[in-house]
């Protein structure tokens, strides 16, 4: 395993290291990912052989599972930030919780037909480098 990434939650209570390379990077538009992230899509990295090492705050990592489904997420009990989780032999990592650059680009938008009704033509929306006044 060659890649090493570090990350944390918003409040800093949880820090971690991911050792291994990412195989896939998906932008998921399913209603569950939208609900969990509060955004248009979740940005998740997947690795079939990476490992998570919790550097601090492992006791603050809380799992959530939707009963009767395969949907599960980890989050910080203090600030609610999405966190990585072990998935069988690999890991799923919310890209936004990483503090190191991600070297791969997204592979695909998935569950695109389930996207929010306002999630169209966003490239046409005005952009600002900071919050507008």
Length of the chain: 133
Classify residue 20: in a domain, yes or no.
yes
CB 50 within 8 A of CB 22: yes
Strands (E), the chain: 4-8, 15-19, 24-28, 42-47, 51-56, 61-65, 72-76, 82-83, 85-87, 90-94, 108-110
The pTM (predicted TM-score) of the whole model is 0.89
Does residue 67 sit within a domain? yes
Instruction: Give the model confidence (pLDDT) of 57-113 as tens digits.
Output: 999 999 998 999 888 899 999 999 999 999 777 899 999 999 999 999 999 999 999
Q: Quick check: is 130 in a domain?
A: no
Identify the residue whose tokens are 């409040």: 11
Q: Which of 22, 27, 26 is nearest to 49 (CA)?
A: 22
Query: Residue 97 belongs to what domain range?
Result: 4-114
**Model confidence over 8-50: pLDDT tens digits?**
999 999 999 999 999 999 999 999 999 989 899 999 999 999 9
126 found inside a domain: no
- Judged by DSSP in three states, 57 sits in coil
- Asked, for residue 85, whether it belongs to a domain, the answer is yes
Number of domains within the chain: 1
Domain of 48, CATH number, reads 2.170.150.70
Residue 68 placed within a domain: yes
In a domain, 84, yes or no: yes
Strands of 51-56's sheet in order across: 4-8, 15-19, 51-56
């Amino acid at each position: 395993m060659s890649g090493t990434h570090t990350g944390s939650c918003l409040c800093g209570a949880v820090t971690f290291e991911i050792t291994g390379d990412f195989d896939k990077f998906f932008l998921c538009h399913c209603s569950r990912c939208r609900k969990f992230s509060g955004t248009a899509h979740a940005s998740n990295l997947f690795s079939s052989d990476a490992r998570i090492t919790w550097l601090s705050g492992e006791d603050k990592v809380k799992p959530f599972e939707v009963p009767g489904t395969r949907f599960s997420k980890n989050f910080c009990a203090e600030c609610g930030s999405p966190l990585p989780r072990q998935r069988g032999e690999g890991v799923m990592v919310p890209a936004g919780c990483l503090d190191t650059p991600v070297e791969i680009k997204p592979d695909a938008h998935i569950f695109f037909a389930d996207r929010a009704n306002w999630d169209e033509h966003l490239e046409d929306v005005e952009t600002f480098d900071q919050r507008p006044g």
